[in-house]
Amino acid sequence: MKTLITGGTVVSATGRTAADVLVDGETIAAVLAPGSTLLGHDLAAHVDRVVDATGKYVIPGGIDAHTHMELPFGGTAASDTFETGTRAAAWGGTTTIIDFAVQRTGERVMDGLAAWHEKAAGRCAVDYAFHQIVGGVDDDSLKAMEGLVAEGVTSYKLFMAYPGVFMSDDAQIVRAMQKAADLGLLTMMHAENGPAIDVLAAQLVEQGKTDPYFHGIARAWQLEEEATHRAIMLADLTNAPLYVVHVSAKQAVAQLASARDEGRNVFGETCPQYLYLSLEEQLGAPGFEGAKWVCSTPLRSRAEGHQDHMWRALRTNDLQMVSTDHCPFCMKGQKELGLGDFRAIPNGIGSVEHRMDLMYQGVVTGEITLERWVELTSTTPARMFGLHGRKGVIAPGADADVVVYDPAGHTTISAATHHMAMDHSAWEGFEVDGHVDVVMSRGEVLVDADGYHGRAGHGRYVARELSQYLV
Ligand code: DUC
Ligand code: ZN
Ligand code: ZN
Ligand code: ZN
């Protein structure tokens, strides 16, 4: 099957150019001057399908490097399965997800990874890969880490929060980082001081401050800054490259920025919620509605300027990537568990479907360039997580994961029209310009003007190589 995508503007991390893209089977065969012919023949007449991208952008499919399909959390589980979550990703122009396989404290690492393969195999609409959460660093799990690279899992995550469930103490962090440095694994860190958060949260509940808003008060920015600093220092000590997930506090960005200025190999990701939503809006939400915005790290104060600072950090490369931390829970039966005690609200927001649109909105408002949009959502994720060459670029030989993005039109995000398995949207009523027009994954059209053509099982497991950001 050959497809020619004609008349569009191909956008990469480094520039934009008018070009036609020839797809042959599962890969990109050529990027050609517009209207190119082959030995005098009109190319369009010699392919099976022509996609007209006139007036539109042609970009590498989005890579969401932080999702949690079916994550067990707080006595429930994230509401998107690999089937529903990857279908929603496809609708939104994301053609690869990297989900977190989980080892909780007391479990075995390789059992966690096997369980994740089991959940995902045959169910995904788009390609998928895994990071490994190591939630119990001991001799056994350190040994198990040695097997991860061979499994194509070249990054793992530690938590400085959630004592007793996922948290690693400093001794465990040092040991894991030493091992990771030896193996070439990239250490991902949830950087919040969990024990301190738990003290503050308990005190707030004792004072009757039980509403969702107090989740963000307990998870104070000082505790993100402190943990980020500690993670950077422990990474420096052990010579382990570090990637801090879901950065939301401007003070945490400052820690990353100064470490990078000093030549340390540290990176940071933020998420759309930290660019657009705020603690003040959560406080203003009626009744228990603020629960839809309970996530960790939490939303931050707009008065303190965190959101503007996140955009700035994306421009200056103090932060390198935007992932969603897609971790959806319904209000009914899930978020509701925390009625009367915010500590019992499962933490997470579902956005896998909307990341490309929400970040394109940053192009519309002038926060980032078109090229930076592609870099933050696709090219850097590919390089950071060992997918480069196959994903994250429109280039001959790369997988034909291609999105045609139409800058025209206007969409209002709503739970009534989204495809995630959620009974509400954290983005309800959000207005975005532009929309995903055509989505192709390894040469198959998943979404076009006629709707959805994807299927569970099209998506394949992608074994990842080492990060390109190791030095
Ligand atoms: N951290 C995550 O990365 N995802 C969900 C919850 C959390 O605390
Ligand atoms: Zn986290
Ligand atoms: Zn997460
Ligand atoms: Zn069609």
What residue ranges do the domains of the chain occupy?
2-59+394-407+433-452, 61-384
Q: How far is the CA of 245 from the centre of ligand 2 (A)?
A: 6
Give the chain's count of helices (H) and strands (E). Answer: 14, 21
pLDDT per residue as tens digits for the range 182-239: 999 999 999 999 999 999 999 999 999 999 999 999 999 999 999 999 999 999 999 9
Q: How far is the CA of 170 from the centre of ligand 4 (A)?
A: 53
Rounded distance between C-alpha atoms, residue 419 and residue 353, angstroms: 7
> What is the predicted pLDDT for the residue at 41?
86
Domain 61-384 has CATH 3.20.20.140: yes
pLDDT per residue as tens digits for the range 112-127: 999 999 999 999 999 9
> What is the predicted pLDDT for the residue at 296?
98
Task: List b or e across 69-96, with b for residues whose CB sees 16 or more CB atoms inside 10 angstroms.
Answer: bbbebbebbbbbbbbbbbbbbbbbbbbb
pLDDT per residue as tens digits for the range 263-319: 999 999 999 999 999 999 999 999 999 999 999 999 999 999 999 999 999 999 999
Evaluate if residue 63 carries a pLDDT over 90. yes
| Same fold: 2-59+394-407+433-452 with 61-384 | no
Q: How far is the CA of 126 from the centre of ligand 2 (A)?
A: 23
**Residue from 73, 76, 155, 190 to probe ligand 1 pocket by mutation (most atoms less than 8 Å from CB):** 190
pTM of structure = 0.98
348 lines ligand 1 (CB under 6 A): yes
327 lines ligand 1 (CB under 6 A): yes
* Mean of per-residue pLDDT scores for the chain: 97
Task: Say if CB 93 and CB 436 are below 8 A apart.
Answer: yes
Evaluate if residue 65 carries a pLDDT over 80. yes
**Residue from 296, 335, 352 to probe ligand 1 pocket by mutation (most atoms less than 8 Å from CB):** 296
Amino acid at residue number 448: D
Nearest residue to 136 (alpha-carbon basis) of 163, 100, 98: 163
ipTM reported for the complex, 2 dp: 0.91
What's the CATH number of domain 2-59+394-407+433-452, 2.30.40.10, 2.170.16.10, 3.40.50.1390, 3.40.1190.20?
2.30.40.10
- Closest CA to ligand 1's atom 8: 296
Q: 72-73 and 76-77 as β-strands: parallel, antiparallel, unpaired?
A: antiparallel
pLDDT per residue as tens digits for the range 377-436: 999 999 999 999 999 999 999 999 999 999 999 999 999 999 999 999 999 999 999 999
Q: Kindly state the average pLDDT of the residues 14-21.
A: 98
Rounded distance between C-alpha atoms, residue 41 and residue 246, angstroms: 50
Kindly give, in sequence order, each residue whose CB lies less than 8 Å from that of residue 203, ignoring residues fewer than 6 positions away: none
Q: How far is the CA of 324 from the centre of ligand 3 (A)?
A: 8
Kindly give, in sequence order, each residue whose CB lies less than 8 Å from that of residue 78, ignoring residues fewer than 6 positions away: 68, 69, 70, 71, 327, 328, 329, 346, 348
Q: For 190-249, where are the alpha helices, taking DSSP H only? A: 194-206, 213-218, 221-238
The structure tokens 């023949």 sit at: 41
Evaluate if residue 356 carries a pLDDT over 80. yes
246 lines ligand 1 (CB under 6 A): yes
Nearest residue to 60 (alpha-carbon basis) of 28, 29, 30: 28
- Closest CA to ligand 1's atom 1: 296
DSSP letter string, 128-191: EEEEEEE-S-SHHHHHHHTTTGGGT--EEEEESSSTTTTB--HHHHHHHHHHHHHHTPEEEEE-
Q: How far is the CA of 289 from the centre of ligand 1 (A)?
A: 20
Evaluate if residue 471 carries a pLDDT over 80. no
294 lines ligand 1 (CB under 6 A): no
Evaluate if residue 245 carries a pLDDT over 90. yes
> What is the predicted pLDDT for the residue at 393?
98
Task: Say if CB 191 and CB 252 are below 8 A apart.
Answer: yes
